[in-house]
Amino acid sequence: MTRSSSDRVTVDGKFFSLGDKKFYLKGVSYGPFAPETGEGHFATREQTAMDFAQIRELDANLVRVYHVPPRWVLDLAAEYGLKLMVDIPWNKHLCFLDSAELKEQAREAVRQAVRSCAAHPAVFAYSVVNEIPPDIVRWSGAKAVSNFIDELVAEAKKIDPDCLCTFTNFPSTEFLRPQSLDFLSFNVYLHQQQPFKNYLSRLQMIADAKPLILGEFGIDSLREGEPQKCEILSWQIETAFRGGLAGTIVFSYTDDWWRGGQQIEDWKMGLTTRDRQRKDSYRAVQKMYRLAPYFPLNRYPKVSIVVASYNGGRTTKACLDSLERLNYPDYEVVFVDDGSTDDTANIVRSYSKVHYFKHEKNLGLSVARNSGISAATGEIVAFTDSDCRADEDWLYYLVGDLLDGDFAGMGGHNFLPHDDSLVAAAVMVSPGGPAHVMLTDRQAEHIPGCNMAFYKWALEEIGGFDPIFWKAGDDVDVCWRVQQAGGRIGFSPAGFVWHYRRSTVNAYLKQQRGYGEAEALLVRKHPEYFNAMGGGIWQGRIYSPAKFGIVMRPPIIYHGAFASGFFQTLYTSQAVGVLSLFSSLEYHILVTLPLLVLSSTFLYLLPVAVTSLVLSLGVCGVAAAQASLPKKKIRWWSRPVVALLFLLQPIVRGLARYQGRLSLQSATSAARETLDSIALRNSPYSLSEVSYWSEGYVDRIEFVASILERLDRKGWPNKSDIGWNEYDVEIFGNRWSHLQLTTVAEDYPDGKRLLRCRLKSYWSLWAKMTFWAAVAFELPIIAIVGRWFPWVGLLALTVPLFAWFLRREKRGLQSLTIVFLDETAKKWNLKKISTAQPERKQTEPVKVQHAI
């Protein structure tokens, strides 16, 4: 990717860049020193120059200082090729939010610091505050403190808009969530490897799309001893870089440390002694910093990268260029051209190392990916799209995290490229984009198809991608099936790709139509993951740039007794999309549209109708106002476009979803009414259960399998249980009903068995929509007009008549299914048991009477 060629460090996805190269922080803290030993809290110029030379020998590239450095310190740092992270001191240990004077002092401290250091090439970033005491935060309130930190960042950027800013946090105030930080910095002192590793995973989830660094970590030589210090620092550095952190800062360079008005004598945290003699820990950190950031993986399994594309010529070159530069020793690129009619073929053929396969016609995304899997020779199959650019370390982190845990697959972030369009930036923060769903800090429920990798055996075990998913939904289906097969999916924070978004409103809405069609297929195949209206039900937390919804329960902070907890954690429930209800297709059809229609006749309803419409527009406006648009891509029209997309997306996607679901449910069953089924339907007995007797052992699972086989042979639409349902088979009847069949086996003496079948019939989605639409339209008319025109009350008869019709349809499907089961049972030499009872007594226990 193209990066800045200046001397200023910039944010680059989950990492930093300096010029055209990544900049991984390998730092040490420096000072503060006794004021009388030099200038301010710094050593003399001569001592500082010798210290910086020794820090460079450590293979470090960054120094963290706790006071604003004079100009000569900045110049010396630049001379030795070091960057400075500048902490800005102010009275954070006082209840600063209680005093306007103290707040202004903090603001002025930030302004003076940035003015004195502005634009100097040695400045890496400013930390506007370091470790606010947790009792101070509890006293003032976490939200108020976070807002004030954001205010300090704003003060810095008024003076130097391009400077990087952070707030250095620690576990005791982990719950603070300032929004304007360029990266997250945490001081972490944990000396056990697994808790340290687990906590870094947690911090990566908090950091989300921003870089994360360790602002401080270290070991006391006095208490731990040098051998233990060497060992701990070594695995801490390695764990941090393997975990995808953007850098580490060891505390500290030297034992010479002045704090709180006195020299610290009872701590020896330095890598050198007070007189700058190297300790063994200096050499241990030096060794690790020379290896960082790329610590060798345990092994490097071959990876096959599959890129499936249809008319993706506009971005294919950028995609393949990025895949040529990957920092991974053993991989191949398999490009599947799914019937493209643009210049994709010519572009791909210019890359001699790419394995190119072309479908003669467009067969759909799943088929294309399956072709890629068939051609893949790697142990791992990774997927990205032709509108993506992979970070050069994408495979290093993705494979490293896959090998590190008991995972079948691994995914990562997808970020908006810096050179993407202004409209694309608006699309990124609009609903419906690719997002990951997390069950824990490391385990995912879903990973987007533009950035995912699986062991090839895991894909082969589930039969690859389902070809019914033509445009989208294939990644969701694969993730669910891998998990249903017992596999776990992980998330790699550092294994990211740059993903170009749709660059026009029309292209975005076309994409959402495709997503809606895919959702209709997913509802049919995985109903357990959807609610009655077709909305997805996720067990995990969704991480998406699109922010929409409200938190129903206020966040809870665990402070520990009297705010003394070392780890003080924020527990917050996921935002519930209650606000999204007012922009949903269902709300427009069932509320706003009827009110507008009725208000044309009954003018007093017009204010209610207008209020309903304004409510929908208002929530979309709120969503646009809180959208986190990239600052350099904001124009006057950006937020209005986001509001428009929030309004149109649920309508377009919802229409496509319902159209798909209704077309799937409209097919009539392969069964036809017979005299037997008609007789059953018209009988006075309950059709909710039927039983079959066997004189010998009959395997219930094999019996159900034979039912499924006969249903498929007859072309009767059905769905079998895959482990999540409380029924064995779902049978789709006509447009109005479907049925769920559940079986159970009862054992009797001498190996005899009774197979009982429960048949529960339900209204189809089409039936529910039609019935409630009739209620929604008719009842207001009857209530309003009926008082003047009594005959209008006859309209009320249509609702119960329609309900009676739907009940007859459900019962008809039950009778058809029983006749089908009777035929199946005969092939198994089973005898039907008379269990018929009047419907009013169907809740009584069924008793075996006699074989017919």
Dist. CA 113–CA 411, nearest whole Å = 41
Taking all residues of the chain, what is their mean pLDDT, rounded to a whole number? 86
Q: How many CA atoms lie within 13 A of 473 on its CB side?
A: 24
**Same domain for 424 and 340:** yes
DSSP H or E run through 222: helix 221-224
- Rounded CA separation 17/476 (Å): 33
The answer to whether the beta carbons of residues 475 and 411 sit under 8 Å apart is no
Q: Between 35 and 661, where is the model more confident?
A: 35
Closest residue by Cα to residue 215 from 28, 50, 480, 45: 28
Residue 619 lies in a domain: no
Q: Is the pLDDT of residue 267 over 80?
A: yes
Specify whether 246 is located in the same domain as 310: no
In this prediction, residue 2 has a pLDDT band, given cuts at 50, 70 and 90, of very low
Residue 171 preceded by cis peptide, ω within 30: no
| Distance, CA of 310 to CA of 362 (rounded, Å) | 7
Domain's final residue, options 241, 262, 291: 291
State residue 388's pLDDT score: 95
- Domain boundary (503, 518, 539) is at 539
Do the beta carbons of residue 489 and residue 407 sit within 8 Å?
A: yes
What is the pLDDT, as a whole number, of residue 555? 62
Residue 161 gets the label, from left (phi > 0), alpha (psi -120 to 50) or beta, of: alpha
Measured CA to CA, the distance from residue 627 to residue 643 in angstroms comes to 10
Q: Which of 61-75, 109-123, 531-545 has the lowest mean pLDDT?
A: 531-545
Q: Is residue 550 situated within a structural domain?
A: no
Helix (H) or strand (E) holding 158: helix 142-159
Tell me, what CATH number does 192's domain have? 3.20.20.80
Specify if 668 maps to a domain: no
pLDDT tens-place string over residues 378-398: 999 999 999 999 999 999 999
Is there a domain that residue 231 lies in?
yes
Which of 489, 409, 488 minimizes the C-alpha distance to 456?
A: 409
| Residue where one domain finishes, among candidates 539, 565, 584 | 539
Work out the number of other CB atoms within 10 angstroms of the CB of residue 593. 16
Query: Given this model, what pLDDT does residue 1 score?
Result: 40
pTM to 2 decimals?
A: 0.80
The pLDDT tens digits for 34-79 are: 887 767 789 999 999 999 999 999 999 999 999 999 999 999 999 9
Segment among 32-41, 183-192, 781-790 with least mean pLDDT: 781-790
CATH code, domain with 370: 3.90.550.10
pLDDT tens for 573-616 read 555 555 677 888 888 888 888 888 888 777 888 888 899 899 88
Checking if the pLDDT of 469 tops 70, the result is yes
- Give the chain's domain count: 3
pLDDT in tens, 89-103: 999 999 999 999 999
Q: Which domain holds residue 334?
A: 303-539
Q: Are residues 340 and 261 in the same domain?
A: no
Average pLDDT rounded to a whole number, residues 724-733: 78
Q: How far apart are CA 566 and CA 170, in angstroms?
A: 9
The label of the residue with tokens 């103290």 reads 102
Query: Higher confidence at residue 840 or residue 472?
Result: 472
Task: Give dist(CA 297, CA 108) in Å, integer.
Answer: 48
- What's residue 293's pLDDT? 96
pLDDT of residue 522: 82
For residues 428 and 493, membership in a common domain is answered with yes
| C-alpha–C-alpha distance, residues 378 and 57, integer Å | 41
Instruction: Select from 129, 231, 125 the least CA-distant residue to 170.
Output: 129
| Whole-angstrom distance, CA of residue 61 vs CA of residue 650 | 49
Out of 46-55, 394-403, 455-464, 618-627, least confident range? 618-627
Does position 770 have pLDDT exceeding 90, yes or no?
Answer: no
Bin 562: left if φ > 0, else alpha if -120 < ψ < 50, else beta. Answer: left
Question: Does a cis peptide bond (omega within 30 degrees of 0) precede residue 252?
Answer: yes
DSSP 444-513: EEE--TTSEEEEHHHHHHTTSS-TT-SSS-HHHHHHHHHHHTT--EEEEEEEEEEEPPPSSHHHHHHHHH
Name which of 65, 209, 71, 55 is nearest 124 in CA terms: 65
CB atoms within 10 A of CB 714: 12
pLDDT at site 557: 61
Residue 533 has pLDDT above 70, yes or no: no
Q: Which two tokens stand for residue 577?
A: 């999309």
Paired with 491 in beta bridges are: 411
Distance CA 713, CA 76 (A): 81
What tens digit of pLDDT does each residue of 663-672 get? 655 444 445 5
Residues 687-697: tens digit of each pLDDT:
889 999 998 88
Two tokens, residue 461: 């075990």
* pLDDT of 316 strictly over 80: yes
Residue 4 has which token pair? 């800045």
| Residue 248 domain-assigned (yes or no) | yes
Q: Return the pLDDT at 766.
A: 66
pLDDT over 70 at 81, yes or no: yes
Encoded amino acid at 373, one letter: I
Q: At what angle do helices 675-682 and 798-827 cross, to 10 degrees?
A: 130
> What average pLDDT score do residues 291-311 get?
96
- Integer Cα distance of 241 and 703 in angstroms: 55
**Is the CB of residue 668 less than 8 Å from the CB of residue 825?**
no
Question: CB-based burial of residue 675 (10 Å sphere; 0-12 exposed, 13-18 middle, 19+ buried)?
Answer: exposed
Domain assignment present for residue 544? The answer is no
348 and 376 share one domain: yes
Query: Is residue 340 over pLDDT 90?
Result: yes
> Is 120 within 8 Å of 162 (Cβ atoms)?
no
Name the pairing type of β-strands 165-169 and 123-130. Answer: parallel
Residues 338 and 419 in one domain: yes
CA–CA dist 582, 560 (Å, integer): 40
What's residue 667's pLDDT?
A: 45
548-555 long-range contacts, CB within 8 A, separation 24+: 548/431, 548/575, 548/577, 548/579, 548/580, 548/623, 548/646, 549/575, 549/576, 549/577, 549/578, 549/579, 549/580, 550/575, 550/576, 550/578, 550/579, 551/575, 551/576, 552/576, 552/578, 555/175
Same domain, 169 and 66: yes
Residues 311, 284 share a domain:
no
Q: How confident is the model at residue 776 (pLDDT cuts 50, 70, 90)?
A: low
Same-domain check for residues 273 and 330: no
One domain for residues 274 and 309: no
Tokens representing residue 543 in the block: 């991480």
Residue 172 belongs to a domain: yes
Chain centre to alpha carbon of residue 31: 41
pLDDT band at 320 (very low <50, low <70, confident <90, very high): very high
Report residue 848's pLDDT band, with 50, 70 and 90 as the boundaries. Answer: very low
Which band of pLDDT confidence, cut at 50, 70 and 90, is reported for residue 108? Answer: very high
Alpha-carbon distance 670 to 717, whole Å? Answer: 8
For residues 33 and 181, membership in a common domain is answered with: yes
Would you state the pLDDT for residue 668?
A: 42
Q: How far apart are CA 40 and CA 572, in angstroms?
A: 44
Q: Is residue 694 part of a domain?
A: yes
Find which of 652-656, 670-674, 713-717 is predicted with most confidence, using mean pLDDT: 652-656
Q: Judge residue 181's burial from the number of C-beta atoms within 10 Å of its C-beta, 0-12 exposed, 13-18 middle, 19 or more buried.
A: buried
Distance in angstroms (rounded) separating the CA atoms of residues 88 and 168 = 11
Cα–Cα distance measured from residue 405 to residue 243, given in angstroms and rounded to the nearest whole number: 12
CB atoms within 10 A of CB 70: 16
Distance CA 409, CA 492 (A): 10
Residues 142 and 237 in one domain: yes
